[in-house]
Amino acid sequence: MDKRILGKSGLEVSAMGIGCWAIGGQFYFDGKIDGYGQTDDAESIRAVRTAVDLGINFIDTADAYGIGHSEELLGEALTGIRDNVVLATKFGFLGNADTKTLQSVCIDPAYIERACDASLRRLRTDHIDLYQLHVGDISISQYDPLIDALERLVAKGKIKSYGWSTDVPAAIRMIGANANCSAIQHEFNLLTNADEILRLCRENHLAAICRSPLAMGFLSGKFDRNTVLGTDDVRGAGHGWTEKVFRNGRPNPHALDTLDAVREILSSNGRTLTQGALAWIWGKSDISIPIPGFKSVKQVTENAKAMEFGALLPEQIAEIDRLLQEIGA
């Protein structure tokens, strides 16, 4: 596939990145598990290196994932190949590494630089290409000090550009015009409409980094009406924000019906459902960069192959749009 430009940074990235939440391992938020079950660090490192070998050069993580563990793994995995990738991470949550618990939010300017320095150490790099606020919404009074802090980090060379992980249009309007703002990270998949966010990204020359492009793995097709995920998995832990796809560990019946309605189109031309879900995103927007998560070399390999198939055709996108409207998705 064609490459993407990471917004106003001008950096060229692969049409797909990898998201490194899952490889951070288990941690807790609001008293509940906020991870995807047990992980194998050696497999995670192999998977990252495999992704790079397969042409994926955009990697996204956060200091919250595993309370720093995801960044530490990336630092090890990218030793010797750091210059081959565009590296993004996030800040804004305070965590306790000993208890593996996210405890609060902090975007105090002095803290932001300390958090950046800590991420640089864990990632074993001298700069972060894209540094993103992880907190989806903040008060107006916090905005100017936040931008000032980020601009100082750009001036010091610690970060190349910045962005915001948010689904709030007003937040995008606030930050989007800044010259060193390059991207918005937002939820986008077959179950989530993002038309307004994509329009704002295009108007402000921002890359649209799509988190949860596979709807927390749901769009892989591996779940059915008999699936029950335990409380040791974020999808079964009882977080309210998962309910559109998973309710108390069970797939949402409406989401299952939606996937069934478009299954044949997604899996056309030899694609897996996973590859079709990624192809749909590219067919909807040429500024979108999906960042599917992974826990294994096998998953990364399947995801990367989606780039060989490319985007769904316009007529396939139109037919899916019609079916989604018909089912009320």
pLDDT at 329 over 70: no
Share of the chain above pLDDT 70, in %: 100
| Backbone φ/ψ region at 124: left (φ over 0), alpha (ψ -120 to 50), beta | left
SS3 string, 81-101, reads CHHHCEEEEEECEEEECCCCE
Mean of pLDDT values over 228-248: 94
State the chain's mean pLDDT as an integer.
97
| pLDDT over 70 at 291, yes or no | yes
Model confidence at 114, in pLDDT bands (50, 70, 90)? very high
Cross-strand pairs, 133: 91, 164
Distance CA 24, CA 230 (A): 19
Collect all residues with Cβ–Cβ distance below 8 Å to 247 and sequence separation of at least 6: none
Give the DSSP H/E element, type plus range, for residue 160: strand 159-165
pLDDT at res. 2: 86
Q: Pick one of 3.40.50.300, 3.20.20.100, 2.40.50.180, 3.40.228.10 as the CATH number of 4-215+273-312.
A: 3.20.20.100
Q: pLDDT grade, residue 248 (50/70/90)? A: confident
Q: Which two tokens stand for residue 237?
A: 């832990």
- Structure confidence at residue 302 (pLDDT): 98
287/189 Cα distance (integer angstroms): 14
- Name the catalytic one among 65, 131, 143, 162: 65
Average pLDDT value for residue range 172-185: 97
In what side-by-side order are the strands of the sheet with 93-96? Answer: 32-33, 28-29, 101-105, 93-96
DSSP letters for 179-240:
TTEEEEEEE-BTTB--HHHHHHHHHTT-EEEEESTTTTTGGGS---TT----TTBGGGTT-G
Indicate whether this model's pTM tops 0.95: yes
- Do 93 and 132 contact (CB within 8 A), yes or no? no
Write down the pLDDT at residue 214.
Answer: 98
Residue 84 pLDDT greater than 80, yes or no: yes
Handedness of CA 252, 169, 172, 102 (dihedral sign): negative
- Quick one: pLDDT at residue 327? 86
pLDDT of residue 256: 97
User: Tokens in use for 246?
Assistant: 């998973």
pLDDT tier at 213, thresholds 50, 70, 90 = very high
Residues 6+ apart with CB under 8 A from 322: none
Q: So what's the pLDDT on residue 95?
A: 95
pLDDT value of residue 268: 96
Let me know if 28 is a catalytic residue.
no
Q: How confident is the model at residue 145 (pLDDT cuts 50, 70, 90)?
A: very high
Contact present, 230 and 250 (Cβ < 8 Å): no
User: Which pLDDT score, from 0 to 100, does residue 328 have?
Assistant: 80
- pLDDT for residue 1 is more than 80: no
Report pLDDT digits (tens) over 8-55: 999 999 999 999 999 999 999 999 999 998 999 999 999 999 999 999
